[in-house]
Structure 1
């Protein structure tokens, strides 16, 4: 079974805040999942060929073609950028992915 410290660490890695009630619930659920995985690890798979995918498709690509979803005009770029919540000049401004949000 997971410890309280491990559950808090997992929540921290996922960048979520959990209440004490949620911590207990997560501890129970995650421990149950890990126990099930341990049972799966006990299965003898000697001689069983690994299954990497099920469809049989290999490199299924579609041609990249415009579909006419947007009416193309000279103001399209401004219209699209105008919908962004934060912008600077002609660019959409987003938060840093390298710093923790304050």
Structure 2
């Protein structure tokens, strides 16, 4: 990994601008130091020899802990029950305000 060295105030200001953050000069100094320490730590990790470590995507050994998707009739509302809480329906459906305008044909 390329040695990034110390992250300067200019770099912090640039990142803050990209993130649309307004930072005080004190915050810029503080974050410059903190981000430089983080980069140094990442560079240190990059130097660790992991050639004899087997790659893994997870470490717990758990597999498929989610339940099967199944419909339970007792947990469902009937159409009539679902529509009973609204004032506006049409042919068995909810009526909601339009959010898109119709396109006119040219």
Superposed pair shares fold, TM > 0.5: yes
| RMSD across aligned positions (CA) | 3.2
2:13 to 8, 12, 18: 8
Structure 1 residue aligned with 2:91: none
Distance in 1 of aligned mates of 2:66 and 2:22: 40
* 1:90 counterpart = 2:75: no
1:8-57 deviation digits (Å, cap 9, x = unpaired)? 11112222111110000000000001001111111111121123222334
Q: What is the TM-score normalised by the length of structure 2?
A: 0.57
Q: What is the TM-score normalised by the length of structure 1?
A: 0.58
Distance 1:76 1:50, change over 3 A: farther
Distance in 2 of aligned mates of 1:11 and 1:2: 13
Shift of residue 58, structure 1, vs aligned partner? 4.2
Of structures 1 and 2, the one scoring higher in RCO (CA 8 A, sep 6+) is 2
Larger radius of gyration between Structure 1 and Structure 2: 2
Query: What 5-or-longer segments of structure 2 have no aligned partner?
Result: 1-5, 89-95, 100-106
1:34-89 deviation digits (Å, cap 9, x = unpaired)? 00111111111112112322233445444376967xx84444598xxxxxxxxxx8
Structure 1 residue aligned with 2:22: 17
